[in-house]
A and B are shown apart, each in its own frame.
Chain A
Amino acid sequence: QVQLKQSGPGLVQPSQSLSITCTVSGFSLTSYGVHWVRQSPGKGLEWLGVIWRGGSTDYNAAFMSRLSITKDNSKSQVFFKMNSLQADDTAIYYCAKNFDGYYAMDYWGQGTSVTVSS
């Protein structure tokens, strides 16, 4: 079955970078895109970016200067890296599989809760 499992730190120091790995199973990264979405405490969802099956990326312009999404198809892993984190980047970060053909997200990872604090 389709699964997305996330791994990454829970605590990040201000001005440091955040790296999360999303390891997928049940589908191939050469066939589906993977999105990244975050949810700040008590707030709505915020789309950060996507890496498509061919390797191209689209980013939320608000984060483009400090966000990088890459992948390793052979390892079924997608890598998320955001630089220069501040307190308002405290959130739960999710990876999610693109529902091909319909531009929605049909399977989500379990989320990585990230706190930015010294």
Chain B
Amino acid sequence: NIVMTQSPKSMSMSVGERVTLSCKASENVGTYVSWYQQKPEQSPKLLIYGASNRYTGVPDRFTGSGSATDFTLTISSVQAEDLADYHCGQSYSYPWTFGGGTKLEIK
């Protein structure tokens, strides 16, 4: 199975700061990577698909980039409502797999 590794596991940022989340695949997954935001006590929500495509209604402060094995989710200016867990996932091959998540806390 393809292993997705996210880093850091957690981070604490102040409102307005730039946030960079990393996701690395154990083998080439092309651009078959999605990012999901999961706020406390909620179901995940799709943020980014195809590595760099922002889903409908997602604020433009969220940007996805990368290909092959290295992917990044950037929040240009983090807001208080961005408090959440962020998951990356690959859909290049079965079984689809996810990283362990990054918990974003707001100072």
Q: Which residues of A contact B (CB under 8 A)?
A: 35, 43-47, 58-62, 94, 96, 99, 102-106, 108-111
B95 engages A102 (CB within 8 Å): no
In the assembled complex, how far is the CB of residue A37 from the closest CB belonging to chain B, in whole angstroms?
8
Closest residue of B by beta carbon distance from A43: B100
B100 engages A44 (CB within 8 Å): yes
A-B complex: 5 closest residue pairs judged by Cβ atoms: A103-B91, A60-B95, A108-B43, A47-B96, A104-B34
Interface residues of B, dominant DSSP? loop
In the assembled complex, how far is the CB of residue B56 from the closest CB belonging to chain A, in whole angstroms?
8
- Total A-B residue contacts, Cβ distance less than 8 Å: 60
Residues of A within 8 A of B94 (CB): 58, 60-61
Q: A44-B100, A105-B46 are in contact. List 13 more A-B contacts (CB 8 A).
A: A35-B96, A43-B100, A45-B87, A46-B98, A47-B97, A60-B95, A61-B94, A62-B95, A99-B46, A103-B32, A103-B96, A104-B89, A108-B45
Partner of B49, one of A45, A47, A102, A109: A102
Tell me the bound Cα distance from A102 to B31 in angstroms.
10
B interface size (C-beta, 8 A): 22
A102 engages B97 (CB within 8 Å): no
Tell me the bound Cα distance from A15 to B34 in angstroms.
34
Closest residue of B by beta carbon distance from A60: B95
B49 engages A99 (CB within 8 Å): yes
Tell me the bound Cα distance from A45 to B6 in angstroms.
12
B46 engages A106 (CB within 8 Å): yes
A45 engages B98 (CB within 8 Å): yes
In the assembled complex, how far is the CB of residue B40 from the closest CB belonging to chain A, in whole angstroms?
13
What are 23 A-B contacts with C-beta separation under 8 Å? Answer: A44-B87, A44-B98, A44-B101, A47-B97, A59-B95, A60-B94, A60-B95, A61-B95, A62-B95, A94-B44, A99-B49, A102-B49, A102-B50, A102-B53, A103-B34, A103-B49, A104-B34, A104-B46, A104-B89, A105-B34, A105-B46, A106-B49, A108-B44
